[in-house]
Amino acid sequence: MIRTIFFVLFALGLLELFVLVKTGQWFGAWFPVLAVLAGFAAGGFIIRHTGVKSLGELREAARAGVIGPQTAIGGVLGLLAGLLFILPGLISDVAAILLLLPVMRRIAERYIDKSGMRKGAVMIDAEAVEITEQALPHPERHREKNEESPWNH
């Protein structure tokens, strides 16, 4: 499993390098350099924008009392798109652009949501009990006096 992951990452790195060299041959040496720098800047902007937007959405969901996995999926996808932009290469930039399209985001959200449910996502059912002052024991009646305690002075 680990070997497969390393092989895939190595192959993707070589493919990215090949595409950068080919675009340099076709459009000149400055095009891939500018594309990598622009992708790096776009990735930083997207990560910052997505983080601020996700925090706002989480605040609103917490205020409304509806926090679920759907709230965080958009932020995670935005973070992934930003990371793909930061990686040097044009293939990862195209993948990031695709991930930013609303249609692709909806498809990815549905896939993530369904795969989580298929794998037996845990749902906790609980009850909340409100404790009022009348239900609590009176502190003066049950307090044991310890004359040596520094808290009594």
Pick from 59-63, 112-116, 138-142 the range whose average pLDDT is largest: 59-63
User: Residue 135 pLDDT more than 80?
Assistant: no
Q: d(Cα 151, Cα 118) in Å, to the nearest integer?
A: 56
Average pLDDT for 103-107:
85
**69 within some domain:** yes
| H helix and E strand count, the chain | 6, 0
Q: Mean pLDDT in the chain?
A: 78
Q: How many structural domains does the chain have?
A: 1
Which residues contact residue 54 at a Cβ distance below 8 angstroms, ignoring those fewer than 6 apart? 72, 74, 75, 78
**57 within some domain:** yes
Domain with 47, as residue range(s), is: 35-118
**142 within some domain:** no
**143 within some domain:** no
Q: d(Cα 85, Cα 50) in Å, to the nearest integer?
A: 13
User: Residue 116 pLDDT more than 80?
Assistant: no
**74 within some domain:** yes
**What angle is formed at CA 88 by the lines to CA 70 and CA 54, rounded to 5 degrees?**
20
**89 within some domain:** yes
| Alpha-carbon distances, residue 3 vs 6, 7, 8, 9 (angstroms) | 5, 6, 9, 10
pTM: 0.61
